[in-house]
Each structure stands twice: as C-alpha cells, then as structure tokens.
Structure 1
Amino acid sequence: MNRELQQFKADFFKALGHPLRIRILELLAEGDKNVNELQAIIGSDGSAVSQQLAILRSKNIVFGTKDGNKVTYSLRDPMIKELLAVAREIFNNHLIDTISMFDRLTEQ
C-alpha cells in the first residue's frame, strides 16, 4: 500500500512538472475554461495547450465536459487550488530566503 501511494504521488507530481501544465491548472482554479479560452489567455497555440490537457486528463487531474463541439475543462479535485497556493507560499519563502542571503552578502 505504501509503495502504491508513493508511486501515485510520484506520477502526480510528474504530471505537474511542466510550466504550461501549471499555468493551465492556475487558470482552471479560477474557473472552468475551454481550449480556445485557455490558449487565448496563455498566448500559446492550441496544439500545445491540447497536448498538456491530454496529460492532465490522463492523470485524472482535470476532466472535460463536451458541449456541442466544445470541451470545457475543470479541475477534478478542488484541492488542486490549495496545492497551487501552498506551492506559491513555498516559492515566496524560498525567494525571501534568497533575497535575505543576497542582502547579507552585499552588506559585507
């Protein structure tokens, strides 16, 4: 069981390990969007967005709801929003530590 959980976590974080996928998740955390909306906001071509969405779908991180010829994407688990917020806090803490270290070095 423990090994299965570790493998799930590794696969999950691997799926998050791309800047465009993170951006897509941040946008979906604000609300459901279709591919056209995502690519307009991101400024990327549709194939790149679609490719990253396919990876997120395959890992059950997002899901799509078909409406006519459009597919609207949503976060499968609302806790992804919290995960992204925690990641941002960790980044900010790291940045603050780096700035403090830089300030100490320049004072010498």
Structure 2
Amino acid sequence: MDANLQQFKAEFFKALAHPMRIRILEVLAEGEQNVNELQTILGSEGSAVSQQLAVLRAKNLVNSVKDGTTVVYSLRDPLLKDLLAVARQIFNNHLIESISLLKDIQKQ
C-alpha cells in the first residue's frame, strides 16, 4: 500500500512540474474556463495550453466537459486550490528567510 501511495504522489507531483500547468490550475481554482479563455489569461498560444491541459487531463487533475463546440475545464478536486495556497505559503517563507539573510549580510 505504501509503495502505491508513494508512486501516486510521485506521478502527481510530476504532473505539477511545469510552470504553465501550475498557472492553469491556479486559474481554474478561480472557476471554470475554456481553452480560449485560458489562452487569453495566460497570454500563450493555443497549442501550448492544449498540450499542458492534455497532461493535466491524463493525470486526472482537471475535468473537461464539452459544451457545443467548446470544451470547459475545471479542477477535478477542489483540494488542489488548498495545495496551491500551501505552496505559495512555503515560497513566501523561503523568501522571508532569504531577505532576512541578506539583511544580516548587509549589517556586517
């Protein structure tokens, strides 16, 4: 069981290992979007966005629902929003530590 859980976690974090995929998840944490909306928000080409969405779909991180000719994406699990918030807090903690170190160095 532990090996299966560790493998799941490794695959899960691999899916998060791209800045555009993280940004897509952050945008979807705020609400459903279609590809065109994501392209506009991300300022990126459609092929790049579609490629990253395919990875997120393959790893079951996002849902896709066809609405006519449009595909609408959403987070599959709302806890992803919490995970992204925790990652931001960890980043902020590292940033605070770095700033503190720089201030100490400047005092010397």
> Which category of TM-score, normalised to the shorter sequence, fits these structures?
over 0.9
Counterpart of 1:19?
A: 19
Q: TM-score normalized by structure 1?
A: 0.99
Does 2:38 align with 1:38? yes
Counterpart of 2:29?
A: 29
Instruction: State the identity %.
Output: 69
Structure 2: 5+ residue stretches without partners? none
Post-superposition offset of 1:82 = 0.1
Q: TM-score normalized by structure 2?
A: 0.99
Displacement over 6 Å in runs of 4+: none
Counterpart of 1:59?
A: 59
Post-superposition offset of 1:63 = 1.1
Structure 2: distance between partners of 1:53 and 1:4: 25
Number of positions where the alignment pairs a residue of Structure 1 with one of Structure 2: 108
Structure 2: distance between partners of 1:107 and 1:51: 48
Structure 2: distance between partners of 1:72 and 1:54: 13
Structure 1: 5+ residue stretches without partners? none
Counterpart of 2:79?
A: 79
Post-superposition offset of 1:88 = 0.2
